[in-house]
Each structure stands twice: as structure tokens, then as C-alpha cells.
Amino acid sequence: MIVTIDGPAGAGKSSAARELARRLGFIFLDTGAMYRAVTWAALEAGVTLANEAELARIAHSIDIKLNGSRVAIDGKDVTDAIRTFRITTATHFAADHPGVRERLVQLQREIAEGANIVTEGRDQATVVFPHAECKIFLTADERIRAQRRHEDMQRRGEQVSLDEVLAKQRVRDQRDQTRPVGALRKSGDAIEVHTDGMTPEEVVNRLEEIVRARQKGE
């Protein structure tokens, strides 16, 4: 069974999807981490992110491994390194690159082959897994999303103002909705869940209800 969770930045997709997968006993697929990984690898290699040929080369040459909440590139754990504000604000180069997206979509489908997975991102229900058995669109008010991301960054010791996070998020939202490939769109058969005012546990409880009902054919 494939469960897709799409939605805008800061909606809490990764944490909710990870916990949902744990409860269900499914594999968790963090597709956003894959684009971050390509971005990190390119910057580490001194590649200019606007250089499309080099960015595509990086995407095809590195070995990305996802193990629960951990992310590794060529055997090196980069879980924390790919979550910095620097990587967050630069990932759009990889996300907007048709060649990079083609490669990562291929990897995502290979991981899901014959497995039970919960996968989260921007285009999981619309592009990567259009025939998924259960599709969820997770969203929240833009300020609430920015506050969540700001708190995450503070916990990691990054000194970034809430206003800066909100401004960058608005740019990212606009880019995600208008990008030529893999744009953020709600699938027509997705169930929309607004997380405003909900605790993380309440969000996962709601998602689990949706999946369990779908498993029963309701």
C-alpha cells in the first residue's frame, strides 16, 4: 500500500509521515531529503547550482540512502547537514531541475516497489504515485507553518528571525506552486487535512484514521 502526503513547506509533513509510518509498520520515504541531499552534495563539490549539467551529474553520481530519519550520501551521514537554512533556501535549484527530478522520481519508485510506504513531498500523489491507494494533502496557515520552521531552526542553533523565515517561505510557496515540473498541487482524490490548532499527536491520529479506513475499504 502506498500512502502519499503532499503539502506546502512547514505543514509538518515529514514528522507526521514518519510517525504514521512507524504506527503502520510501513517504510517512511522522505522525498524532500533527497532533493536536499543533491543540493548539499553539489555545494560540497563546489558546483554552481545554476549549472544544470553539473547538477544533473551530481544527482546521477551520488548514492542516497534513507534509513528511517537518517540520510546518507555515499555512506556519509548528512541528516543534520541537509536541514540547515542554507540548504533549505537553495534546494529549489534541484527541485526545479527536470533531470534531477527524473532521477529522484525513479529512485522513489524503486524504493516503493512491492513495499508498504508512507511518502511525503510536493508531487507524490500527482506525479510519482498517481495510483496510490491513499492520498492526503496536509496544510496549515502560512504563519503557523513559518513558526514551526523557525522553532525547528532555533532548536538546531540557527539564528534566523521569524520574519526572515516567513519571507523565504512565501517565496518558496510561490515557486512550489508555479514550477514547471513537480509543482505543488492537490490531487483531486486527496483528503485535505488542516493542522491549524492541532498537536502533532492529533495530526497523526487523524492521518491514521484516514489510512485505516482506506485499508478497510471505507
Beta bridge partners of 134: 3
Q: Other CB atoms closer than 10 Å to residue 191's CB: what's the count?
A: 17
CA distance readout (Å), 211 to 4, 111, 190: 10, 20, 12
Neighbours of 188 (CB within 10 A): 8
Contact 139, 190 (CB under 8 A): no
User: Does 86 score more than 70 pLDDT?
Assistant: yes
pLDDT digits (tens, 9 = 90+) for 28-78: 999 989 999 999 999 999 999 999 999 999 999 999 998 877 899 999 999
- Biggest alpha carbon–alpha carbon distance for the chain: 51
C-alpha cell at 87: 540548504
Predicted local distance difference test score (pLDDT) of residue 40 = 97
What is the three-class DSSP state of 175? helix
- What are 162-190's pLDDT values in tens digits? 999 999 889 888 888 887 777 888 999 99
Residues 121-144 have pLDDT tens digits of: 889 999 999 999 999 999 999 999
Cα 88 from Cα 175, distance rounded (Å): 13
Please name the residue that has the C-alpha cell 492537490.
Answer: 186
